[in-house]
Chains A and B, each alone.
Chain A
Amino acid sequence: MASNGKLTGRQRLGWTVLTVVVLLYALFPVAAILATSFKTQADLGNASFLPSSWTWENYQMILVGDAQGLFLTALRNSIGITLIATFIAVVLATLCAYAIARLDFPGKKIILGSALAVSIFPVISVVTPLFNLWRNIGLYDTWLGLIIPYLSLTLPISIWTLAAFFRQIPWDLEQAAQVDGATQWQAFRRAIVPLAMPGVFTTAIIAFFIAWNDFVYGISLTSTEAARPVPAALAFFTGASQFEEPTGAISAAAIVVTIPVVVLVLLFQRQIVSGLTQGAVKG
């Protein structure tokens, strides 16, 4: 932008203050739960932000201690279910978006339109019939019973993001490669796949986020550790005894499930931003 030249002292101060305010706004609640996760049981009521003595006991409790069974199984469910749902969604959406961007066939608008309709669908509206149906056909409280509904969350945005992305690919390259003597498959592989990979990858990250974030399906379609994902498991955490609040354990678990997401955000923020905005606003 134009403001890359020298700054006056006042401008510099203004920008510093603004940056600090934005950073505080974005990170403060995360810092708060991080601090809570290091408090001892006795320290939880100390009414201050920081623990008076730092401890790993909450992390020990959920990773190797009493709450291990609860948390680690939920974590395994979350990772497994989310990865499978993401993988299926990205494969299907890639095919679908390729067809939309590349081929001429009637019904393209219908597919894009219904993807949009599904993405604004209130999840809670389909959860009651799914709950009933899943119980009848034995999908209740299973991995597959969550993977299928997760596709309704991840497919629409994947299709939109990838379709927007694929439209920008110069498909002529493929023909050029064929003219140069490559077979159709070689041309596709060498010319198009490298161009398409970043879009597919970005879509996978966004789809992963969305599935990882789900709560409604998680609490409604599961009842035991067999399939309950972490967000739902957190809501049903109880303390070691009925007099003990599980605050510390929940905080630690919250931090553990947040780390992979934040790492992904830090690594791929540029692609995520372009993917999100490409799918949503392009005019």
Chain B
Amino acid sequence: MNGSSRPRGGTGKKSNRAKSEARLGWLIAGPAFFIMLSVTAYPIAQAVYDSLFSFRLTAPDDRSFVFLQNYLTIFSDVEVFWQALGVTLFVTVVTVAVELVLGFGLALVMHKALKRIRGALRTAILVPYGIITVVSAFAWYYMFDINSGFVNNWFSWVPGIDSDLDWFANFPTAITIIMASEIWKTTPFIALLLLAGLAQVPDELVEAAKVDGASWRQQMTRVILPNMKAAIMVAVLFRALDAFRIFDNVFIMTNGSANTEVLSLLAYRTSIGRLEIGLGSAVSVILFICVLLICFIAIKFFKVDLASGTDAKGGK
């Protein structure tokens, strides 16, 4: 994603027309740009600054500069921080992997379905995406809740499930339901991106492979998937970034109990729950750096070209 190497503005000095076009461009594009930056760049700078202070809102006069002390405190806290990071990474990897497989399946079904039912299928698949995350979290929570849920009753024949099973009291079961709700809610997004990717695979290529006697599996791995690489990479990156920021469903279902605390929740509870602005800011900064790292790794090692994946090459 390096800047363009195209020499700008042609030869010599710019014409008046180019100048006025540039001025008009910034005049009408500027407000959106300015707002985006002021709502994000400024607060993150403030967070970096605040993270260097020992500062709680309950004792605002005790504010003092402690340099990296907050970060040291966080990094030395195995029970809280490293565990939250581990859970967050676990959730990210598992949900993205499952969603990729499930989403590809859904995309194939939508792609191949008869015209008559294609619209209905697509509408149904869009429903989870349109549902508010909090509503989805409550729906899943009530299904499994020990008091109001019916799952224990329905699946009492499965070994390990009986009417006393409290899904949200143990880490393995609680995190499973949290991930299930996340997967249910966001798989449609991946399915839609992959469907768009599928639509871009040239039909002639698939036909040619069929004529040459390629099996279904060979068509998939040799023709279809390689041609969808860009779509798959973009989908994985966006979902991974999104999953890493998971918050709503954890907050609703366990609020971090049963060791299900994730980084976002830790940041929220430190700063807004306990009003430890300095410490909370440090967690926020760490979360931000993690997201940057994921992007960097994706772009560097998996060669996700976001700019060309989004048609930005047309911007000359």
Contacts and interface: CB of A to CB of B under 8 A. Distances in A.
B159 interface: no
Contacts of B254: none
Contacts, number: 330
A167 B311 contact: yes
Interface in B1-36: 1, 3-4, 8-9, 18, 21-26, 28-29, 31-33, 35-36
B142 A247 contact: yes
Given A27-B124, A277-B195, A127 B131 contact: no
Nearest to B131: A258
Given A47-B150, A105-B21, A281-B197, A124 B36 contact: no
Interface in B264-311: 264, 267-268, 271-272, 277, 280-281, 284-285, 287-288, 291, 295, 306-311
A242 interface: no
Interface in A120-147: 120-133
A112 B312 contact: yes
Interface stretch (A17-25, A62-70, A175-183, A190-198): A17-25
A130 B149 CA distance: 38
Nearest to A260: B130
A47 B230 CA distance: 46
Contacts of B235: 280-281
A95 B31 contact: yes
A224 interface: no
Interface range on chain A (Cβ under 8 Å from partner): 35 or more
A149 interface: yes
Contact of B134 (A44, A235, A281): A235
A124 B135 contact: no
Nearest to B281: A128
B288 to A, nearest CB: 4
A99 interface: yes
B252 A122 contact: no
A203 interface: no
A113 B113 CA distance: 37
Nearest to B196: A277
Nearest to B244: A122
Interface in B71-121: 106, 109, 111-115, 117, 119-121
Interface string A252-283: 00100110011011100100110011011111
A48 B153 contact: yes
A99 B139 contact: no
Contact of B126 (A130, A213, A265, A280): A265
Given A36-B148, A254-B139, A151 B39 contact: yes
Contacts of B153: 47-48
Given A103-B21, A131-B272, A33 B139 contact: yes
B143 A124 contact: no
A220 interface: yes
B130 A265 contact: yes
B32 A47 contact: no
B127 A122 contact: no
Nearest to A282: B311
Contact of B252 (A120, A167, A235): A235
Nearest to A255: B135
A45 interface: yes
Which of A47, A113, A152, A231 has the most chain B CB atoms inside 10 A of its CB? A47
Contacts of A227: none
Contacts of B195: 273, 277
B70 to A, nearest CB: 12
A43 B139 CA distance: 17
13 contacts: A29-B181, A44-B147, A45-B148, A109-B4, A114-B36, A127-B267, A127-B271, A133-B43, A231-B134, A235-B134, A235-B252, A269-B122, A281-B197
Given A265-B123, A280-B235, 11 more contacts: A22-B121, A26-B127, A47-B153, A104-B18, A104-B316, A111-B33, A128-B277, A152-B40, A235-B251, A247-B147, A283-B231
